[in-house]
Amino acid sequence: EDKVVQSPLSLVVHEGDTVTLNCSYEVTNFRSLLWYKQEKKAPTFLFMLTSSGIEKKSGRLSSILDKKELFSILNITATQTGDSAIYLCAVDSGGSNYKLTFGKGTLLTVNP
């Protein structure tokens, strides 16, 4: 059974702090790992990672994948209150069905 584990499950920081969110996985055939941000309702896409060691960056957010150790991290620098959200990690384990397996998410709260 495919498995995605995120840590921590929740995190409270102050504005300006840097945070690192973790995602480890065990899947039969890895194709890609995706990060989403969910503020109130619909999760919004952040990154898709397919290759080890290549950092993806978008503003203050960045992410990297380690396919040997089977994990990914999502970094957020200089956090703002608008970064408060649930961050979801998902893995595509291949096959023809395109389905994703999600972790439980990390609830990030950024206090002013």
Partner 1 sequence: DGGITQSPKYLFRKEGQNVTLSCEQNLNHDAMYWYRQDPGQGLRLIYYSQIVNDFQKGDIAEGYSVSREKKESFPLTVTSAQKNPTAFYLCASRPHEKSGYTFGSGTRLTVV
Residue 46 C-beta: closest distance to partner 1, Å: 9
Tokens of 60: 């203050």
Give the residue among 26, 41, 43, 24 at the shortest CA–CA distance from 88.
43
Residue 16 C-beta: closest distance to partner 1, Å: 28
Query: How far, in whole angstroms, is CA 75 from its chain's centroid?
Result: 9
Report the run of H or E that residue 7 belongs to, with start and end: strand 3-7
Residue 61 C-beta: closest distance to partner 1, Å: 15
Q: What CA dihedral angle connects 79, 81, 86 and 88, to 10 degrees?
A: -30
Residue with Cβ nearer partner 1 (14 or 70):
70
Residue with Cβ nearer partner 1 (3 or 14):
3
3-state SS, residue 43: coil
3-state SS, residue 110: strand
Residue 80 C-beta: closest distance to partner 1, Å: 23
Residue with Cβ nearer partner 1 (96 or 112):
96
Residue with Cβ nearer partner 1 (58 or 98):
98
Question: Which residues are at the interface with partner 1 (CB under 8 A)?
Answer: 6, 9, 31-32, 34, 36, 41-45, 48, 88, 90, 92, 94, 96-105
